[in-house]
């Protein structure tokens, strides 16, 4: 069983971990993950619980699996049904609406029902190892909840950190003394199980993890023009960290141990970290709803893209994500896939799958100028 600490990209990375550690026979892992896709996919702030879906299937009293034909209840959205349809794994839903105590209850039911040979708590980036006062920390709540729950589970749980620093929150060098030795290094073949997923999944951390596993190196700009993320040889590594040390360090996780609902957990985040990421989502959702929608104009898109790339080169950026390009061009998140298709059909040589390589100089290629499928090398 693999618990995706923060949901989203952690669930994608869990499939890579299953291939790297447990592949070559046996049953695929059960991946326990949040339905928390942020506003790019889900217009409703915060995570979803079982009541926000139709078509879920009961696994235990408190745990529901997400099959491919499950649907989020509008206006909510979720990547989980599609993820479940493209992976052989059982995708089970973390329900944070009952706080850390509820997640602990889910874990204990799964342990009793499945009797798993191993339980891994997986975080891409390493912000689960945060103290809570780091100035670059942006999304500590989900990780802190799962950390608090796993520390109370009635079975040994191994804490794994993949791609140190790749979530753009805690720099890899700041995590060096918080992680144990390297357990494994992802290679290109470990990306194969999620190859199709990465063509549409919005997670930037999972995209950078896969890209570094495939040998991409450089400096990547991510959403909201956060600090550039170095793409180095450390990027595809997985480290085993000490679960108890992580809890001792993480003040928010310790405060969440006995929480019984999400509102209580949010308030602890405000008190300890100075903010709640769900409050941020609420504010951003309000802003997005008042912003006029822009249409995708191919000619204007390439003009804007050339300007963005010129500025990015000046910042020393070599790669970026399609999520960042969509944002930089002022487009709605719903245009991300259409924008991606347009760029890959016109400038396929810049596709460093699943990232976008910043051109070394302005391109003369315009919409419709060059054919290409943008296939993986």
User: Which parts of the chain are beta strand (E)?
Assistant: 2-4, 30-33, 53-54, 57-58, 64-65, 71-72, 90-93, 120-124, 158-162, 182-185, 218-221, 229-231, 237-241, 319-320, 351-352, 355-357
Please tell me whether residue 83 adopts helix, strand or coil conformation: helix
Q: Give the model's pLDDT for residue 366.
A: 43
Q: Which of 227, 255, 283 is the last residue of a domain?
A: 255
Does residue 325 sit in the same domain as residue 209? no
Q: Give the model's pLDDT for residue 377.
A: 37
Does residue 185 sit in the same domain as residue 99? yes
26: buried, middle or exposed (CB in 10 Å: 19+, 13-18, 0-12)? exposed
What pTM value is reported for the model? 0.93
Q: Give the model's pLDDT for residue 371.
A: 37
Q: How many CA atoms lie within 13 A of 39 on its CB side?
A: 17
In a domain, 325, yes or no: yes
In a domain, 263, yes or no: no
Q: Which of 235, 255, 275 is the last residue of a domain?
A: 255
Does residue 93 sit in the same domain as residue 142? yes
In a domain, 270, yes or no: no
Q: Give the model's pLDDT for residue 367.
A: 41
Does residue 315 sit in the same domain as residue 220? no
In a domain, 8, yes or no: yes
Phi-psi region of 326 (alpha: psi -120 to 50; beta: other; left: phi over 0): alpha
Q: What single-letter DSSP state applies at residue 94?
A: -
Instruction: State the CB neighbour count (10 A cutoff) for residue 161.
Output: 29
Does residue 9 sit in the same domain as residue 119? yes
Does residue 235 sit in the same domain as residue 355? no
Q: Give the model's pLDDT for residue 362.
A: 58
Q: Give the model's pLDDT for residue 94.
A: 98
188 φ/ψ angles, rounded to the nearest 5 degrees: -55, -35
Q: What single-letter DSSP state applies at residue 35?
A: B
Q: Which domain holds residue 42?
A: 2-255
Does residue 296 sit in the same domain as residue 240? no
In a domain, 262, yes or no: no
In a domain, 279, yes or no: no
Q: What single-letter DSSP state applies at residue 100?
A: H
Does residue 216 sit in the same domain as residue 311? no
In a domain, 141, yes or no: yes
Give the chain's residues under pLDDT 70.
24-25, 289-291, 362-377
Does residue 12 sit in the same domain as residue 72? yes
Does residue 85 sit in the same domain as residue 170? yes
Does residue 316 sit in the same domain as residue 373? yes
In a domain, 267, yes or no: no
Q: Which two tokens stand for residue 283?
A: 């504010």
Q: How many domains does the chain have?
A: 2
Name, in order, each residue with C-beta under 8 angstroms of 109's C-beta and a sequence gap of 6 or more.
Answer: 60, 61, 62, 63
Q: Which of 199, 230, 255 is the last residue of a domain?
A: 255
Distance CA 308, CA 158 (A): 42
Does residue 23 sit in the same domain as residue 136? yes
Q: Give the model's pLDDT for residue 60.
A: 98
Q: Which two tokens stand for residue 255?
A: 């405060």
């Amino acid at each position: 069983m693999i618990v995706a600490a923060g949901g989203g990209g952690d669930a994608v990375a869990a499939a890579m971990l299953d291939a790297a550690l447990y592949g070559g026979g046996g049953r695929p892992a059960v991946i326990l993950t949040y339905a928390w896709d942020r506003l790019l996919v889900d217009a409703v702030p915060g995570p979803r619980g079982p009541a926000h879906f139709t078509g879920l299937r009961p696994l235990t009293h408190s745990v529901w699996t997400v099959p491919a034909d499950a649907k989020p209840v509008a206006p909510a959205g979720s990547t989980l049904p599609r993820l479940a349809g493209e992976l052989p794994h059982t995708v089970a839903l973390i329900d944070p609406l009952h706080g850390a105590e509820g997640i602990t209850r889910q874990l204990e039911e799964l342990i009793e029902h499945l009797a798993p040979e191993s339980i891994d708590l997986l975080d891409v980036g390493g912000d689960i190892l945060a103290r809570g006062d780091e100035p670059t920390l942006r999304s500590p709540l989900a990780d802190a909840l799962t950390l608090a729950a796993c520390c109370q589970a009635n079975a040994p749980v191994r804490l794994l950190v993949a791609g140190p620093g790749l979530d753009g929150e805690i720099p890899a060098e700041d995590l060096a003394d918080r992680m144990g030795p390297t357990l494994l290094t992802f290679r290109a073949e470990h990306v194969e199980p999620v190859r199709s997923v990465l063509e549409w999944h919005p997670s930037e951390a999972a995209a950078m993890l896969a890209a570094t596993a495939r040998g991409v190196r450089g400096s990547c700009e991510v959403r909201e023009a956060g600090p550039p993320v170095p793409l180095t040889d450390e990027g595809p590594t997985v480290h085993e960290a000490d679960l108890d040390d992580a809890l001792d360090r993480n003040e928010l996780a310790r405060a969440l141990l006995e929480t019984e609902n999400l509102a209580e957990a949010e308030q602890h985040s405000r008190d300890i970290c100075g903010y709640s990421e769900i409050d941020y989502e609420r504010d951003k959702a309000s802003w997005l709803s008042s912003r006029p929608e822009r249409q995708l104009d191919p000619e204007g898109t390439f003009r804007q893209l050339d300007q963005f790339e010129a500025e990015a080169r000046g910042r020393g950026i070599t790669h970026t994500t399609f999520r960042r390009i969509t944002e930089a061009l002022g487009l709605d998140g719903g245009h991300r896939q259409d924008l991606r298709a347009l760029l890959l059909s016109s400038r396929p040589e810049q596709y460093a799958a699943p990232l976008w390589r910043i051109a070394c100089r302005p391109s003369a290629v315009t919409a419709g100028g060059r054919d290409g499928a943008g296939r993986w090398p």
